[in-house]
C-alpha cells in the first residue's frame, strides 16, 4: 500500500500544484522521488510531529493541500492535540497519512502497534477516516482525499499487501465496495484485513454459506445504507478489523444496527481486545496470536454460524 500511495501522490501532485508533502525524518526510500520532483513542495521537519502538524495546518490555511506522513502512531497519537486544535478546529485541508496500521510493525512492539488510531481519529469533529483494503484502494483513496475538503486520515498498510481487486473499482469516499456478492452472511472488512476476509468468505462458500464481502474503506462518513442493506438482505453481519473492537469498524456498524429497529440481525465483531500485546513478532504472528488469521477466524465463527445455520459444518 505504501508504494501505491506514493505513486498516486506523485501523479496527483503533477496535476495539482496545491499538493505538498511533509515528513517526520523517515521513509527516504519512498519519499525521495517526490522530494526530487517537487523540492519546493517537500519538507522534512525532523522527529517533531507536533511541529509537522502545526506547519501543515498553517500551509493548508494558505490554500495548500498538505499531506503529513509518518509510521504507525507517530503522525496521529504523538500530535493529537495539534490535529484536534490546529487541523480539525479550523477545517484545514491536511491529509494525515500513517503507514503501518495494525500490526504492520509488529516486531517493534507496542509503541509501533497502531491499534487504537481509528477510534481516536474517528472521534474528532470534521475528520474523515479512510482505511483502504489493498494497493488498488490505497491509490484511489489518495486521489480521492485530495479533492475531499477538510481533514482526512489515511491509514495504510506497510508493504507487500496483496492486490484483492482484479477489475475496475467504483471507489467513492463514504461508499462501501462490494468485493463478493452473497445472500446468507455479510462480512464487512476495513483496512488490510480485506484479503483475509475474502479468503474466509471463499471458504464459507465451499460450506454452502454465500458470503457478501464489503470493503468499508471509509469509517467516517460511514456507508449507513450498505450496513442496513446487509442487515436486511443477509441473515447475519460480521465485522473484521486489525484494530481494537472499541471505537473502530465494529463499533461504527453496531451503532447503526442498534438505532434501527428494522436492522435486528445476529452480529459479531472480530478485532483486537482492549489490551496491549504481551508478545511481539511479525504481522502474521501477531494476527494469529490475536485470533485474526484465517484459521483462527474460522474457529471463532464456528459456534456463531452454527446457531444461525444449523446445517453448517466447519
In this prediction, residues 120-130 reach a mean pLDDT of: 98
Looking up cell 500500500 gives 1
Which grid cell is 9? 501522490
What pLDDT does 157 receive?
94
Strands 211-215 and 177-180: antiparallel
In this prediction, residues 77-97 reach a mean pLDDT of: 98
- Which domains are present in the chain? 2-156 (3.40.50.970), 177-308 (3.40.50.920)
What pLDDT does 151 receive?
98
- Phi, psi values for residue 246, rounded to 5°: -90, 115
Say whether the peptide bond before residue 233 is cis (omega within 30 degrees of 0). no
**Distance from the Cα of residue 244 to its chain's centroid:** 12
DSSP sequence for 114-146: B-SHHHHHHTSTT-EEE--SSHHHHHHHHHHHH
| Whole-Å CA distances, 304 to 185, 224, 259 | 11, 24, 22
Strands 19-23 and 65-71: parallel
Give the pLDDT confidence of 258-297 residue by residue, as tens digits. Answer: 999 888 999 999 999 999 999 999 999 999 999 999 999 9
| pTM assigned to the model | 0.96
Q: Is the per-residue pLDDT at 27 higher than 80? A: no
Strand partners, 68: 22, 96
Rounded-to-integer distance, Cα 106 and Cα 169, Å: 30
Rounded-to-integer distance, Cα 54 and Cα 43, Å: 13
Give the pLDDT confidence of 155-189 residue by residue, as tens digits. Answer: 999 878 999 999 999 999 999 999 999 999 999 99
What pLDDT does 307 receive?
95
Amino acid at each position: 500500500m505504501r508504494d501505491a500511495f506514493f505513486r498516486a501522490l506523485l501523479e496527483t501532485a503533477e496535476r495539482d500544484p496545491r499538493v505538498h508533502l511533509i515528513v517526520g525524518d523517515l521513509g527516504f526510500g519512498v519519499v525521495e522521488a517526490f522530494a526530487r520532483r517537487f523540492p519546493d513542495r517537500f519538507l522534512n521537519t525532523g522527529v517533531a510531529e507536533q511541529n509537522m502538524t502545526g506547519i501543515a495546518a498553517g500551509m493548508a490555511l494558505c490554500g495548500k493541500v498538505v499531506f503529513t506522513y509518518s509510521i504507525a502512531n507517530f503522525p496521529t497519537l504523538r500530535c493529537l492535540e495539534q490535529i484536534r486544535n490546529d487541523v480539525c478546529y479550523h477545517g484545514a485541508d491536511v491529509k494525515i497519512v500513517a503507514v503501518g496500521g495494525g500490526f504492520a510493525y509488529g516486531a517493534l512492539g507496542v509503541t509501533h502497534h497502531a491499534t487504537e488510531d481509528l477510534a481516536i481519529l474517528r472521534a474528532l469533529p470534521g475528520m474523515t477516516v479512510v482505511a483502504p483494503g489493498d494497493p488498488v484502494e490505497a491509490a484511489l483513496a489518495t486521489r480521492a482525499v485530495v479533492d475531499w475538503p477538510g481533514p482526512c486520515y489515511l491509514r495504510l498498510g506497510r508493504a507487500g499487501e496483496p492486490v484483492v481487486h482484479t477489475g475496475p473499482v467504483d471507489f467513492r469516499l463514504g461508499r462501501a465496495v462490494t468485493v463478493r456478492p452473497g445472500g446468507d452472511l455479510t462480512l464487512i472488512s476495513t483496512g488490510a484485513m480485506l484479503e483475509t476476509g475474502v479468503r474466509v468468505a471463499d471458504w464459507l462458500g465451499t460450506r454452502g454459506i454465500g458470503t457478501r464481502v464489503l470493503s468499508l474503506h471509509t469509517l467516517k462518513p460511514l456507508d449507513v445504507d450498505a450496513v442496513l442493506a446487509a442487515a436486511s438482505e443477509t441473515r447475519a453481519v460480521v465485522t473484521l478489523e486489525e484494530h481494537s473492537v472499541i471505537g473502530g469498524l465494529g463499533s461504527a456498524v453496531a451503532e447503526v444496527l442498534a438505532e434501527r429497529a428494522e436492522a435486528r440481525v445476529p452480529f459479531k465483531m472480530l478485532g483486537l481486545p482492549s489490551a496491549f500485546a504481551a508478545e511481539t513478532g511479525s504481522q502474521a504472528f501477531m494476527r494469529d496470536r490475536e485470533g485474526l488469521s484465517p484459521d483462527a477466524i474460522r474457529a471463532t465463527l464456528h459456534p456463531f454460524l452454527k446457531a444461525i445455520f444449523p446445517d453448517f459444518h466447519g
